[in-house]
Structure 1
Amino acid sequence: MPQTPNDKRTLSALPSPRARAIAFAGVLIAGAAGAAIGYSLIDLQCDGECSVGTGIGLLLGAVIGAIGMAIVSVLVLRAVGEWRELADN
């Protein structure tokens, strides 16, 4: 769709900066929650000195949580872009 001279909005496939910031914050929160879950899971199952195990649980939980939320965020941002495109037509 060509842009008309009266159209002040430039066409872009990028989501709004606010939507991207919210998605980024969601990824950070999910990573922190995953880290807490991973740490707690190993800490509850281990007796004695388990610092390496809890550290690995913390790291894996954070990575898995952040990756999962990143996938969801990308899908949501794409869906919002498609909804806006349909609303513009």
Structure 2
Amino acid sequence: MSESRPLSAIPPVAARAIAFVTILLGGLAGGLIGYALVDLQTSGDNTVAKGFGLLIGAVLCAAGLAIVAVLALRAMGEWREINDRERAGHAPR
């Protein structure tokens, strides 16, 4: 018996949640790296420079991971669509 679910290219909620958490963790890691990089290159009390390093590192890393996550989720949606077509007997030969 086949599972009845509406056809949709939207990835499962669990996959979207994992992608979101991964982007947040990547932003955290990028921020820490940016902060440490500026901290190593400067001396004294440079809180503004350290803050910019933290912000730029976090944004760049989170943006890069967001791109990867979107591509992975789209690939997952296409994979599900292909499997749905094969199960329905509409797969190309």
Equivalent-residue separation in structure 2 for 1:7 and 1:62 (angstroms): 42
For 1:40, the equivalent position in structure 2 comes to 36
Alpha-carbon shift at residue 84 of structure 1 (Å): 1.5
User: Normalization by structure 2: what TM-score?
Assistant: 0.85
User: Residue type of the partner of 2:54?
Assistant: L
Structure 2 gap segments, 5+ residues each: 87-93
For 1:3, the equivalent position in structure 2 comes to none
User: Residue type of the partner of 1:78?
Assistant: R
Alpha-carbon shift at residue 8 of structure 1 (Å): 2.1
For 2:25, the equivalent position in structure 1 comes to 29
Superposed CA offset, 1:19-71 (max 9, x none)? 00000000000000000000000000001111000000000000001100000
Alpha-carbon shift at residue 7 of structure 1 (Å): 6.0
Instruction: State the secondary structure of the residue aligned to 1:68.
Output: helix
RMSD, matched Cα: 1.3
Does residue 55 in structure 1 map to residue 51 in structure 2?
Answer: yes
User: Normalization by structure 1: what TM-score?
Assistant: 0.89
Instruction: State the secondary structure of the residue aligned to 2:19.
Output: helix
User: Residue type of the partner of 2:24?
Assistant: L
For 2:89, the equivalent position in structure 1 comes to none
- Equivalenced residue count is 84
Does residue 82 in structure 1 map to residue 74 in structure 2?
Answer: no
Runs of 4+, deviation exceeding 3 Å: none
